[in-house]
Amino acid sequence: MKITKANGKSEYLLIENLKKRSGETDEKITEIVSSIIKGVKEGGDDAVREYTVRFDGGVPKKTVIEKEELAQYLDMVDDEFKEAIISARDNIYAFHQKQTQQSWLTTEENGVIMGQRIRGLHRVGIYVPGGTAAYPSSVLMNAVPAKIAGVKEIIMVTPPGKDGNPNPNIMAAAAVAGVDRVFLCGGAQAVAALAYGTEKIPKVDKIVGPGNIFVATAKKLLYGVVDIDMVAGPSEILIVADKSAKPAFLAADLMSQAEHDKMASSILLTTSESLARATVKEIEKQIKFLERQEIIEQSLNDYGEIIVCENLSQAIEFANELAPEHLELCVEEPLKYIGMIDNAGSVFLGNWSPEPLGDYYAGPNHVLPTSGTARFFSPLSVDSFIKKSSFIYYTQLELSNAKDKIINLAETEGLTAHANSIKVRFNEKN
């Protein structure tokens, strides 16, 4: 893993390199996904079944699993895992419960009434990968805030295994999280089915959840037909550390992100050159015992870097510029720096708050903005699953008091029909 000294130039070359990770839209994949979307839109369930056979190797033993059936999967997983997902669910619920908003109404003395109504979306679809990329934690992170928001129905899609059955860990998580129905299909065809609806799969208002490049492309292409959570890029971690940090911890945390993907980025900003060298040695030591060694090595070689900064202010300035998905502050008195962090998906404070704590258990959502989008995007939350409507009530007198200003604004914009809508109420001529 390369060590670089910050000089106002080299560290910003890193940002440019990271921007290239996402690259241009793959036209070939877009063409394939567009064809699948069209096929599902026109062919419905038959098309979904055909693509499932083609891409997944067979048809699932059951196409849909109702809510009542989900509980049986809790008996198929070991007790320790069951206890873990229930504890995680409770923490996620407690955190997201604090995000809820209330509808409101104000009544003025002049009789004017205004307000805002907040309610959950009618139906949401959650995409959950299967196979080697099966993440029960993502089920919890997507379904729990939707449940709190008041979503009336939560639909989950997940590809079946080679034996035609779903992953029992995923299904157990769905049971714990309150998913209403599960359809056993995956890929771009599942996303298209959720967006347009089929004979069996209902149309949803929003699609959330991670997936491969085909799933991500489908979500992107269907945005507007249906809402989506975000277009996620490769995972990333940025650690800011001073001399108080422990090299063994830093090495472990950098590799915990690198194992996701060969394109994942793991960056350490430190004020200590000796800490930087010690961290590299720890990586070399620990990586020998990790299963995804090859992925970690390539990720660290291509998109990993340790930058030695002059001071913490310089490091934090760079962190805000990079706007990372995950930011760890492994420094003395980390709470001092919260107010200085403007751009980050999730912030982990101190040596005993590693990134996996947020991924699995603590409560904050692990669906986070990537690729610098933390400059303007926020983590998945209860807000992601609600919609708002405003309402207005004016009396005749108050509309009369405001009419001249409204007419002036409308006519200034050349919208005479707008002006007329006001004038006719007071028998005024154009």
Indicate which residues carry an active-site annotation: 325-326
What single letter denotes the amino acid at residue 170? I
Residue closest to 154 by CA, chosen among 183, 178, 130: 178
Between CA 350 and CA 221 the distance in angstroms is 40
User: Cβ of 179: how many Cβ atoms within 10 Å?
Assistant: 25
Task: Specify burial of residue 184 (Cβ count, 10 A radius: 0-12, 13-18, 19+).
Answer: buried
What does the buried/exposed string (b/e) look like for 283-298 if buried means 16 or more CB atoms within 10 Å of the residue's CB? beeebeebeeeebbbb
Other C-beta atoms lying within 10 Å of the C-beta of residue 152: 13
Q: Which residues pair with 326 in a beta bridge?
A: 237, 346
Q: Crossing angle of helices 293-303/10-22, nearest 10°? A: 130
Q: Could you list the beta-strand ranges (E) of 108-263.
A: 113-120, 123-127, 153-157, 181-183, 206-208, 227-228, 236-241
